[in-house]
Amino acid sequence: MSGNKNKIAGIGELFADLKEKRPLIHCITNPISINQCANAILALGARPMMAEHPLEAPVITRTAGALMLNLGNLSDTRVTSMKLSLEAAREEGVKVCLDVCGAACLENRRTLAHDLIKEFAPEIVKGNYSEIMALAHGDYHSSGVDADGRLGEEDVLKIAPQLADSLGVTILASGKTDIVSDGTRTCLVKNGTPQLSQVVGTGCMQGAIAATFLSCRGGFDAASDAALTLGICAELATTRKGLGTFAVRLMDKLSLITASDIKKHADLTYVSIK
Sign of the alpha-carbon torsion through 100, 101, 104, 108: negative
Q: What is the mean pLDDT of residues 98-116?
A: 96
**Homologous superfamily (CATH) for 2-271:** Ribokinase (3.40.1190.20)
Is the pLDDT at 2 greater than 60, yes or no? no
Q: Cβ distance 220 to 182 under 8 Å?
A: yes
CA distance 226 to 19: 16
Bridge partners (DSSP) of residue 124 are 97, 170
Average pLDDT along the chain: 94
Q: Cβ distance 186 to 270 under 8 Å?
A: yes
Query: How confident is the model over 6-22, as pLDDT tens digits?
Result: 677 789 899 999 999 99
Percent of the chain predicted with pLDDT > 70: 95
The b-or-e profile of 165-184 (16+ CB within 10 A means b, else e) is eebebbbbbbbebbbbbbbe
Query: How confident is the model over 208-262, as pLDDT tens digits?
Result: 999 999 999 999 999 999 999 999 999 999 988 999 999 999 999 999 999 999 9
Complete DSSP assignment for 46-90:
-EEE---STTTHHHHHHT-SEEEEE-TT--HHHHHHHHHHHHHHH
User: CA distances (Å), 240 to each of 89, 200, 259, 261, in order?
Assistant: 43, 18, 26, 21
**AA identity, residue 47:** R
Q: Cβ distance 265 to 189 under 8 Å?
A: no
Query: How confident is the model over 150-194, as pLDDT tens digits?
Result: 778 999 999 999 999 999 999 999 999 999 999 999 999 999 999
Can you give the residue ranges of every domain in the chain? Answer: 2-271
Supply the pTM of this predicted model. 0.95
Q: Cβ distance 120 to 90 under 8 Å?
A: yes
Q: Where are the beta strands (DSSP E) in 12-163?
A: 24-28, 47-49, 66-70, 95-99, 124-128
Walk across the sheet containing 47-49 and list its strands: 47-49, 24-28, 66-70, 95-99, 124-128, 170-174, 178-181, 186-189, 268-271
Q: What pLDDT score does 10 carry?
A: 86
Query: How confident is the model over 108-143, as pLDDT tens digits?
Result: 999 999 999 999 999 999 999 999 999 999 888 776
Percent of the chain predicted with pLDDT > 90: 88
CA distance 230 to 83: 28
Q: Please work out, in degrees rounded to the nearest 5, the angle formed at the alpha carbon of residue 139 by the alpha carbons of 187 and 158.
A: 20
Question: Confidence band (pLDDT; 50, 70, 90) for 148?
Answer: low
Question: Confidence band (pLDDT; 50, 70, 90) for 1?
Answer: very low
